[in-house]
Amino acid sequence: MAKVTSGVLASFEHIDAACDTIKALRARGHRKLTVYYSHPNHEIEEACGHQSSPVRLFTLIGGLTGTTAAFSMQIWMNRDWPLLVGGKSIVAIPAFVVIGFELTVLIGSLATLLGVFLLSVGMRNKGVIYDERYTDDRIGVFVPAGAADAAGIEKLLRDAGAVEVKHAAA
């Protein structure tokens, strides 16, 4: 049985209520919130105040690896078995551009996917409770908290317009 993170989970129907709550909680020092929502939404993203995703580094490094790998592979293989074709020089850079481009895209994309997997999808939100309506039409806000704080947080969430509040105890 996975360890459960203790805390309070609130469901919202209204986006403005959810965003205000997230901002209020963050202002009160709750930094480890988990917010669930069903579609990319920049209003919620703004409220959460995240910095840009580091996935772009994976894309950049993957892409550059692809370019380098493609050109070095083609240059080395052509020099390893020098064969004159179509009057081109043995190392004919313009002819290598196509594969250089293709491998940039290929390895760049695969590295991006690996980045997302390592950063988020593969690392499931272990032990944090979830509700199936969050992929439908509700917004969920989970506030990690001990038993002592739970009642106060529940009140804040209900006052802010949460339609449902659940507690999770470790």
Give the C-alpha separation, 158 to 167, whole Å. 13
Closest CA to 157 of 55, 24, 46, 62: 24
Give whichever of 6 and 48 is closer to other proteins, judged by the CB atom.
48
Amino acid, res. 118: L
Least distance (Å) between residue 127 CB and other proteins: 12
In the complex, the residues that contact other proteins under the rule CB under 8 A are 13-17, 33-41, 43-45, 48, 50, 52-53, 55-56, 59, 63, 73-74, 77-78, 80-81, 83, 85-86, 88, 92, 95-96, 98-99, 101-103, 105-106, 108-110, 112-113, 115-117, 119-122, 124-125, 130, 132-137, 139, 161
- Give the span between the Cα atoms of 66 and 92, in whole angstroms: 18
Question: 10 by DSSP, 3-state: which?
Answer: strand
**Rounded least distance, CB 109 to other proteins, Å:** 5
- For residue 157, the minimal CB distance to other proteins (Å) is 14
What's the number of CA atoms in the CB half-sphere (13 Å) around residue 115? 17
